Structure formats: structure tokens, C-alpha cells
């Protein structure tokens, strides 16, 4: 590269790498406006934290009287945002950084294989294995298993109302019902827990807490993977905002919306998890997302005169992290969110108007987030 002179090119000697990297690689673009950049730390930090906390607080504070439709909008708008983030804000930038037509992709061993696609695939498979392992562990620990008729119900359109996702028997409605069912004393009808050896019902005091804990562990693993992927992305955009040049005026307001939409999606998903005795965890998770980008912006400002986001090293790091995050969010968005909420939910057709509203909210979120990809 140091020997490449764009004003004096011998086409028989110059390589594709020389030309592409000359256009792609640049130094530090920082152009001042320190006050505005410092303000972005507080503005983005406040907005992203507030939008993440809103669904969580609204569900835990009944006095707010938030309409159920608002909650549905937040949840499924956020689903669309997450899916669009995976493809538009992560997959495409990763290909731009280390894809086959990039400076990195035609340099050295990066050009020997489609590494960007391989990283995305590996990330998806790793998340799948973690998700599977978490489900298997929880089912083994609590002695339950999934409903064998779930797939048949989806394929045939028939749903047996006596079957649920797991073989967990319902609580007795009253003491008399409990006595009829198992001959248990009235005081034992407080809750039910599944017997891990025979699949029968044992009435015991802590049954309800066991079912809640099992549900929590099944859902929190998938959510932590989702937030992990989003945080990776937030670190990168925060660093870039701290040192970007002419694009700062456009990037700043776009990232305010970008982070608030992502935060709304994360918060809505978090509010659906039964945290139970882990009451402190949602607040920590909300703050983890809300503070990641501001901290990254502050770090970017700290190295504003030396960090070059378009150097080869920076592009490799950004490309790899974007590819990992893309794989995580593609799996999570399509499997954990779209498939489970729309395809494999046996109750989805109970209210077709609600289903239509959910689909419209999801498409709206995906469309808005895809549009923001034009600028960030």
C-alpha cells in the first residue's frame, strides 16, 4: 500500500487489493464538535435506557394503566426491529467490512474462503446449540418434556386443548377438586408440581414457584443471547459516533431513533419473562443495554485523535463482531420471536384481529428499522 500511487498506475503491475484498499482505508476523520459529541453520550444514554425500561415498568406498575394494545405494539414492533437489525444493520455491514468484495476480503487468506458467511453460520449454530442445551437442561432438571403433539398440531391445524407446550397439569380450582383428583388433603392444593419419574401430579406447597422458575430459565437463556448480540452492535456504533467526521450530523439523530427502537424491542421482550424471585435482574439488563452505547461513545472520544475506524484492523474487528451479532439476531429473530409467536403458538387464531395487529406492528418495525439503514 505505501508504494501505491493512484496518480501513476501501471495496470500490468497494480493489484485489485491495492486499488480497493486505497478507496476503503482512511485515517482518523474526527473534525471537532466536541460539545455535540459529549451531548450524544447523555441523550442516547437517556433515550435508550428509558425506552428499554418503559415496557418493564409499565407491566409492573398497574397504576399506569397502560392499554394492552400499547404493550402489543411495543412487543411486536420490537420484533420487526430486531429482525431488520440482523439483516440491514449487521449482515450487510459485515459483508462491507470483510466480505469478498471488500479490502479485507481480497487480502491474504481472507480471500481464500467466504469467511463472513462462515462466521454468521457458526454463530447461528452456536446459538442453536446453546438454546437446545438450555431447554434440555431445564427439562431434565424439572422432569418435564415438550408436548409430543405440538408439531402435528401445527402441520394438521388441529389443536388438542388438553395439551400445552409442556406436560404440566393445571392447579385445582378448589379444595374439593383436589380431593377428587388425588385424594390429597385440602391444605396441599396450594400448587402443583410435576413428578419427574412418573409424570403424575404431586400437590405441594412450592409447586407454583417451581413451575415459574422453570419457565424463567427457559426464556432467560434465549433473551440473554439476544441482548448479547445487540450489545455487540451497540459497542461498534458508539465507537464510530465518537470519531466520525462529516457524517456526524446525520448519524447522531439517526442513532437516537436506532437505539430507542432497539431498546423498545428488548424491553418488551424482557417484560414477558416471568422473573419471579429474580426481581433485580430486569433492571440490570435494561441498564446494561442503555449504558453500552454511551460508554462506547465516551471511549471513542477518548481515542478520537488516534482511532481509525476504516483501518484494516478496525474493519476486521467490526466485520467479525457484526457477523457474530448477525448470526445471533437472525436465529433469535426468526426462531425465538417470529416462529414461536406466530407459527407455533396454538392460540394465535383465537383473535384474528389481534393477530393482524401483531403482524402489522412487526412489519412496521422491520420497515422503519430497514429505512434507518440508509443512514446508519
**pLDDT tops 50 at residue 201:** no
At residue 143, the pLDDT reads 67
At residue 147, the pLDDT reads 52
At residue 265, the pLDDT reads 87
DSSP H or E run through 194? strand 192-194
At residue 361, the pLDDT reads 94
**pLDDT tops 90 at residue 305:** no
Grid cell 417470529 is found at 338
Q: Give the mean pLDDT of 56-76.
A: 82
What proportion of the chain, given as a percentage, has pLDDT over 70? 78
At residue 210, the pLDDT reads 66
- Asked which of 139-143, 243-247, 364-368 is least confident by mean pLDDT, the reply is 139-143
Count how many residues are written for the chain.
376
What proportion of the chain, given as a percentage, has pLDDT over 90? 32
Neighbours of 113 (CB within 10 A): 11
Q: Give the mean pLDDT of 136-147.
A: 69
**pLDDT tops 50 at residue 297:** yes
At residue 340, the pLDDT reads 84
Q: Give the mean pLDDT of 102-111.
A: 88
Q: Which residue, among 276, 279, 161, has the nearest Cα to 211 in the 3D structure?
A: 276
* Higher pLDDT pick, 176 / 249: 249
* Higher pLDDT pick, 344 / 254: 254
In the chain, alpha helices (H):
16-24, 34-60, 68-84, 92-98, 115-142, 150-156, 175-182, 207-243, 248-271, 281-302, 312-331, 352-372
Beta-carbon contacts of 80 under 8 Å, excluding residues fewer than 6 positions away, are 361, 362, 363, 364, 365, 366, 367, 368, 369
- Asked which of 85-99, 175-189, 223-237, 337-351 is least confident by mean pLDDT, the reply is 175-189
CA torsion sign, 292 to 287 to 281 to 124?
negative
C-alpha cell at 217: 430459565
- Compute the C-alpha angle 319/77/68, nearest 5°: 150
- Mean pLDDT, the chain, rounded, equals 79
Cβ 252 vs Cβ 294: under 8 Å:
no
Q: Radius of gyration over alpha carbons of the chain, in Å? A: 25
Q: How far apart are CA 297 and CA 234, in angstroms?
A: 10
**pLDDT tops 70 at residue 339:** yes
Q: How far is CA 286 from the centre of its chain?
A: 13
- Compute the C-alpha angle 321/322/324, nearest 5°: 65
Q: How far apart are CA 376 and CA 370, in angstroms?
A: 10
Cβ 300 vs Cβ 307: under 8 Å:
yes
SS3 of residue 337 by DSSP? helix
**pLDDT tops 90 at residue 95:** yes
Q: Give the mean pLDDT of 256-272.
A: 89
* Higher pLDDT pick, 13 / 318: 318
Q: Give the mean pLDDT of 174-197.
A: 41
* Higher pLDDT pick, 29 / 156: 29
At residue 71, the pLDDT reads 82
**pLDDT tops 60 at residue 325:** yes
- Asked which of 79-88, 199-208, 228-237 is least confident by mean pLDDT, the reply is 199-208
**pLDDT tops 50 at residue 175:** no
Cβ 369 vs Cβ 261: under 8 Å:
yes
At residue 208, the pLDDT reads 56
At residue 274, the pLDDT reads 82
> Model confidence at 4, in pLDDT bands (50, 70, 90)?
low
**pLDDT tops 80 at residue 283:** yes
**pLDDT tops 50 at residue 96:** yes
Torsion region of 236: left, alpha or beta (phi above 0 gives left; psi -120 to 50 gives alpha): alpha
Grid cell 448519524 is found at 251
Q: Give the mean pLDDT of 104-118.
A: 89
Amino acid at each position: 500500500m505505501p508504494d501505491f500511487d493512484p496518480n501513476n498506475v501501471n495496470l500490468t503491475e497494480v493489484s485489485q487489493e491495492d486499488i480497493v484498499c486505497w478507496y476503503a482505508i482512511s485515517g482518523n476523520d474526527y473534525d471537532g464538535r466536541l460539545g455535540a459529541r459529549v451531548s450524544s453520550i447523555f441523550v442516547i444514554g437517556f433515550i435508550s435506557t428509558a425506552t428499554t425500561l418503559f415496557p418493564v415498568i409499565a407491566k409492573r406498575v398497574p397504576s399506569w394503566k397502560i392499554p394492552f394494545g400499547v404493550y402489543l405494539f411495543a412487543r411486536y414492533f420490537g420484533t420487526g426491529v430486531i429482525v431488520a437489525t440482523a439483516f440491514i444493520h449487521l449482515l450487510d455491514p459485515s459483508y462491507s467490512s470483510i466480505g469478498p468484495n471488500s479490502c479485507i476480503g481480497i487480502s491474504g487468506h481472507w480471500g481464500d474462503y467466504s469467511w463472513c458467511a462462515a462466521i454468521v453460520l457458526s454463530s447461528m449454530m452456536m446459538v442453536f446449540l446453546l438454546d437446545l442445551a438450555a431447554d434440555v437442561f431445564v427439562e431434565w432438571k424439572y422432569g418435564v418434556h415438550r408436548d409430543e403433539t405440538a408439531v402435528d398440531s401445527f402441520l394438521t391445524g388441529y389443536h388438542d386443548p388438553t395439551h400445552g407446550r409442556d406436560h404440566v397439569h393445571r392447579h385445582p380450582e378448589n379444595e374439593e377438586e383436589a380431593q377428587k383428583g388425588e385424594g390429597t388433603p385440602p391444605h396441599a392444593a396450594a400448587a402443583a408440581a410435576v413428578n419427574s419419574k412418573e409424570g403424575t401430579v404431586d400437590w405441594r406447597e412450592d409447586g407454583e414457584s417451581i413451575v415459574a422458575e422453570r419457565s424463567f430459565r427457559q426464556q432467560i437463556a434465549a433473551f440473554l443471547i439476544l441482548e448479547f448480540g445487540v450489545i455487540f452492535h451497540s459497542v461498534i456504533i458508539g465507537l464510530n459516533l465518537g470519531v466520525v467526521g462529516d457524517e456526524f450530523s446525520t448519524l447522531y439523530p439517526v442513532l437516537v431513533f436506532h437505539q430507542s427502537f432497539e431498546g423498545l424491542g428488548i424491553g418488551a421482550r424482557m417484560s414477558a419473562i416471568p422473573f419471579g424471585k429474580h426481581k433485580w435482574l430486569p433492571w440490570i439488563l435494561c441498564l446494561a443495554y442503555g449504558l453500552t452505547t454511551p460508554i462506547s461513545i465516551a471511549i471513542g472520544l477518548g481515542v478520537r485523535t488516534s482511532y481509525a475506524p476504516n483501518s484494516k484492523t478496525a474493519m476486521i474487528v467490526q466485520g467479525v463482531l457484526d457477523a457474530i451479532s448477525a448470526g445471533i439476531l437472525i436465529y433469535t429473530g426468526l426462531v425465538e420471536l417470529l416462529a414461536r409467536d406466530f407459527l407455533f403458538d396454538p392460540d394465535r387464531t383465537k383473535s384474528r384481529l389481534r393477530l393482524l395487529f401483531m403482524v402489522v406492528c412487526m412489519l412496521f418495525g422491520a420497515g422503519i428499522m430497514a429505512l434507518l439503514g440508509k443512514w446508519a
